[in-house]
Amino acid sequence: MRKIAFRNRLTVKLLLISVISLVVSIVVTNLTSQLVFYLVSGQETIESSVLQVSLMMIFLLSTAIVTFIFIFILLVRKKIRYLKSISQTVQHIANGKLGLTIEIKGKDELTQLAQNINYMSKELENKFIHERQLEKAKNELITNVSHDLRTPLTSIIGYLNLIKNEQYENKDQLHEYFETIYAKSQRLKHLMDELFEFTRLSSPDVQLNLNKVDMASLLQQIVGEYMPIFEEEQLSVQSSITDEDFPVLIDVEKMVRVYENLFMNAIKYSMKPSDIQISFKSKGNTAILQVSNRVENPPVEDVNKMFERFFRGDKARVDAQGTGLGLSISKRIVELHNGDIRAEYKDGWIIFIVEHPLYK
């Protein structure tokens, strides 16, 4: 808390005002007494003088008190008005007008009180907005999840019903039904796994199992594992991953998830046949991975929208391929590692860039 200069302290100011009021009241009383003495001088008798002196004393005392009060109130009225406005604002804030602020005047304890109330009011407003956003996000999540879970489940129940009522023509059709049920169950499982991972990573106290690894060889290994799938999907890979040692401190399991989602996305959503470019290099203290693939059109104009929860492009929706959670999970994981992930679109290429601090 900021210290208030001695001369600005409220007590000092009040003392000063009291002294001024006292001096003024003495001066006024003195002048009044001289005037009164002048008016009554020469006309008193012995009996009346005692009464007159007592009345005069009372009159002068009253003059002193009234002058003191009047000057005191005159000098403190600005502070009283300020205090009233502080009290009214606090009442408005208490009634729900969060974010309301008090005009800052002066440099004393009242100013400090007003500054603290302003800070509290803004903080309360921010917390309230944040809570509302969380509530909205939670509701959206529940709506999306129940819709996405219901679709494969309805299909599974439908096929099981056909089998239960023996509504199939031959063994081949029965086998086909089982295949569909299996595929839909797999999708349901994938959905639930992604959802579980998403909610787990969203919690503020998520723990990372950090280990020092060489990122270049880890990436070479994962790309090697994906090579047969790339080839099968008619995607020719141009990879430039350096042989240098790139030490990083990561939760391997979680970061592998990020890379796998990028490679799987490239496989699922790129034009076929076409090229995929994977590059890994360092710049200063940062390791940079880029995964680029070709698309006819970007799934959305602002490609960074792909990182939003449940975002799925038309292709993904029509083919019911993904959950739309992969990239938002990746973003959270990369950010937990103090890194950055973003996307760019240029001349028919979608480029994903993952930046990660190197371990010193």
Q: Of all helices (H) and strands (E), which one includes residue 68?
A: helix 46-94
| Region from 35-43, 202-210, 241-249, 325-333 binding ligand ATP, contact rule CB under 6 A | 325-333
Identify what 194 binds: Mg ion, ligand ATP, none; CB under 5 to 8 Å per kind.
Answer: ligand ATP
Residues 336-355 that bind ligand ATP (CB under 6 A): 350
Identify what 339 binds: ligand ATP, Mg ion, none; CB under 5 to 8 Å per kind.
Answer: none
Asked if residue 351 lies in contact with residue 290, where contact means CB atoms within 8 angstroms, the answer is yes
148 binds ligand ATP (CB under 6 A): no
Residue 125 token pair: 């407003």
Asked if residue 341 lies in contact with residue 353, where contact means CB atoms within 8 angstroms, the answer is yes
Identify what 311 binds: ligand ATP, Mg ion, none; CB under 5 to 8 Å per kind.
Answer: ligand ATP
289 binds ligand ATP (CB under 6 A): no
327 binds ligand ATP (CB under 6 A): yes
323 binds ligand ATP (CB under 6 A): yes
Residues 252-271 that bind ligand ATP (CB under 6 A): 261, 265-266, 269-270
**How many chain residues bind ligand ATP (CB under 6 A)?**
22
299 binds ligand ATP (CB under 6 A): yes
CB of 322 to Mg ion, least distance (A): 5
- Angle (nearest 5°) at CA 59 between 54 and 61: 95
Give the separation between CA 165 and CA 355, rounded to whole angstroms. Answer: 56
The residue among 322 and 339 lying less far from Mg ion, judged by its C-beta, is 322
Identify what 218 binds: Mg ion, ligand ATP, none; CB under 5 to 8 Å per kind.
Answer: none
The residue among 278 and 327 lying less far from ligand ATP, judged by its C-beta, is 327
326 binds ligand ATP (CB under 6 A): yes
Q: Binder to ligand ATP among 110, 114, 250, 316 (CB under 6 A)?
A: 316
Q: Rounded to 10 degrees, what is the CA torsion of 324, 330, 333, 339?
A: -140
Asked if residue 357 lies in contact with residue 303, where contact means CB atoms within 8 angstroms, the answer is no
Asked if residue 308 lies in contact with residue 328, where contact means CB atoms within 8 angstroms, the answer is yes
Asked if residue 277 lies in contact with residue 317, where contact means CB atoms within 8 angstroms, the answer is no
CB of 350 to ligand ATP, least distance (A): 4
Taking residue 332's Cβ as centre, other Cβ atoms within 10 Å add up to 20
Phi/psi at 68 (5° precision): -60, -50
Cα distances (angstroms) measured from residue 224 to each of 97, 170, 278, 332:
59, 43, 12, 26
Residue 220 token pair: 């070479």
Residue type, 40: V
The residue among 298 and 339 lying less far from ligand ATP, judged by its C-beta, is 298
Identify what 118 binds: Mg ion, ligand ATP, none; CB under 5 to 8 Å per kind.
Answer: none
Contact footprint for Mg ion (CB under 5 A): 261, 265, 322, 326
Identify what 152 binds: Mg ion, ligand ATP, none; CB under 5 to 8 Å per kind.
Answer: none
Residue 212: partners with Cβ closer than 8 Å, 6 or more residues away: 247, 248, 249, 359
| Positions in the binding site for ligand ATP (CB under 6 A) | 194, 261, 265-266, 269-270, 293, 295, 299, 306, 311-313, 315-316, 322-327, 350
